[in-house]
Amino acid sequence: MTDPASPSVRPTKRSLDDLGLAFPDIGTPLETLDHPLIVKAQNVPRELAAGGAERVRSLTDRVWFKCKTSNLRGVVTRLSEDEVDQPKLLDDANAWWWLGAAGERKKDSASDFYKVIEAEAERRGKGQQGVSTTHLLPVETDYKRLQAELATQFVLTIRRVVRGIIAKSLTDGKIWSASTSAHKVTARVHASDGEAYLAISAEGFLDPGTIAVILTSVPHMSKADWMAEPGGAMGIEPDAGQIIFSAMIPAEAQTAILDEFATDD
């Protein structure tokens, strides 16, 4: 298990609240939000690797780094492996670095962000012989949001991959496949008697929900349009653990897919 050299820095719900921001739609990863401080926070891991990150010296219970842009300030930390609250996220780059809180720079004022955070940490650590910033770390809401984003990106990726190989087959009539380490999707479009038929095979996708995502990747078609083909279809032969489906693909679906990939190689 390795931590990528240049991971993203996710804002916690606490820091979004500090900045007056709400959660965007689930298809938008939080680290990509176009906000000056969140954009600036993405530099902190690289600054640390280059020896240029500045620590918040008053927060002594763990290492926090300063994040500065214009009049905005924030604190960024990297979790250790045993601090990642969701074990399934340990291999995801976005589970490691977090923007924990944010605020405004107010020079020589008690309401300056770093003074406010220091006072907050002292209150939280009262009776613990030191400051405490545990409350600034990601909580269940933050992990649930991350998991939802990853699930959404997985679905969007599968759908585009499926449409991509269908587009290739629409162009040349050949069998096309796309694979990952654990999954494989194959598609072929065959024209006969003025109609076009599509066959799709899925290998490694044992979850019915994922099968549904694959079959609903084709625009203007639904799960009800498909028929299981246990004996194979259109030259796609079933291997062990492989599921094959076929359907007539309407002209409007063909046009939509070809238009989507018109500028792709």
Q: Which domain holds residue 55?
A: 9-138
How far the first Cα of the chain sits from its last, in Å, is 34
Which CATH number fits the domain that encloses residue 224?
3.10.28
Instruction: Determine, yes or no, domain membership for 144.
Output: no
Cα dihedral angle (105, 107, 111, 112), rounded to 10 degrees?
40
Backbone angles phi, psi at 19, to 5 degrees: -90, 0
Per-residue pLDDT of the chain (265 residues; tens, 9 = 90+): 334 446 899 999 999 999 999 999 999 999 999 999 999 999 999 999 999 999 999 999 999 999 999 999 999 999 987 777 666 665 666 678 999 999 999 887 878 999 999 999 999 999 888 899 999 999 999 999 998 998 898 899 999 999 999 999 999 999 999 987 678 899 999 988 778 999 999 887 667 888 888 999 999 998 889 999 888 888 887 776 678 999 999 999 999 999 999 876 5
**Listed residue (76, 84, 78, 122) closest to 100, CA to CA:** 76
User: Rounded to whole angstroms, how far apart are CA atoms 23 and 19?
Assistant: 12
The residue out of 91, 109, 138 marking a domain boundary is 138
The total number of structural domains that make up the chain: 2
Domain boundary among 79, 109, 138: 138
Domain boundary among 138, 167, 197: 138
Decide if 143 is inside a domain. Answer: no
Partners of residue 197 on adjacent β-strands? 190, 248
pTM recorded for the entire structure: 0.78
- Both tokens of 155, joined, read 């679905």
Residue located via tokens 């931590």:
3
Angle between helices 140-172 and 208-215 (to 10 degrees): 50
